[in-house]
Amino acid sequence: MEKIPESSSKGKKRQRDQEDSEPKSIDLDQTLSLEESLTFSDTLVALRIMRAQFPRIEKVSVQPFILRSQLYSSVEDRTQVDRELESLRREKIVRIFKLNTGQDDHAIMFLDDYLNQIERVVKRLEEKKQGDLEVFKWFRTHVIDSKLEPSIGHQELHTLLSLGGKVMDGHLSILINAGLLTRQLIDPNMYWFVIPNVGSVLKGLSQGRKEVLSLLNRKRYKEMMLASMEKKRLRFSPLDMRFHLRDLIGSGHLKTAQTSTGLVVRVAKD
């Protein structure tokens, strides 16, 4: 079974408590079908299983992430999801990112996965023998550890980085060019935290959504059996069908219905 990241002693206790109450039959690997792992009673359990089921993406080095919409598809009470996500964020078990998709999309990534993603960026820059990499240590130690929200103001960012050393304008450019920060369009003095290397995946996310909906809209009743749908391969997205189905169900574009032969997924009526 894949090792799941833990980021604090409090987080470890929470995870142990969760594992004690988790059904022993749950196996966090790719063998679970979507129908077998569609709904959960706990947000952390859903996050752990979706992390384990994150598709392997060729040519793109990105750690597993989960969309908030996917959690909404899996945990019936959305208020519970938001409350438990907030708790996990404050406990520094996960980080939440606003995605640049043109929609109100948010990604959740386990903190250890996010730190590993940053390490890969730094290692790549080291191999290219690019200097001034000390800013990444300041960023990890002073910014990420204390600023838990999805965005940060210019002055606060500068102040926190200054705890590590003398900050120059070039340091901020390094963080932006490395894909760790992006300026907000509405307020250029505010930055969004970004998952490095996620850009091409987000393009596939948008294209995959359109492809899945188009596939169902071509069906006579705009529906298919979930088990059959899950087996189909997508042409325009590096993410798999299971990833997209969770997202579209949670965002309300698709609905499921139980039948005598299994779950049916259909396009939601406007």
Kindly state the average pLDDT of the residues 99-108.
90
When the pLDDT of each residue in the chain is averaged and rounded to a whole number, the result is 86
Residue 181 has pLDDT above 50, yes or no: yes
pLDDT at 23: 40
Q: Where are the domains of the chain?
A: 9-112, 121-193, 199-267
Q: Between 182 and 270, name the one with better pLDDT.
A: 182
CATH architecture of 199-267: Orthogonal Bundle (1.10)
Name the residue with tokens 């080095």: 61
Contact 229, 203 (CB under 8 A): no
pLDDT tens by residue, 143-159: 999 999 999 999 999 99
- The domain 121-193 is classified under which CATH number: 1.10.10, 1.20.58, 2.60.40, 1.10.20? 1.10.10
At 192 the three-state DSSP class reads strand
17/236 Cα distance (integer angstroms): 40
Residue 2's pLDDT band (cuts 50, 70, 90): very low
pLDDT tens by residue, 188-235: 899 999 999 898 899 999 999 999 999 999 998 999 999 999 999 999
pLDDT at 40: 82
Residue 195 corresponds to which tokens in the numbers above? 């998952």
72/53 Cα distance (integer angstroms): 17
Residue 36's pLDDT band (cuts 50, 70, 90): low
| Domains 121-193 and 199-267 belong to one CATH topology | yes
Give the rounded distance of the alpha carbon of 221 from its chain centre: 32
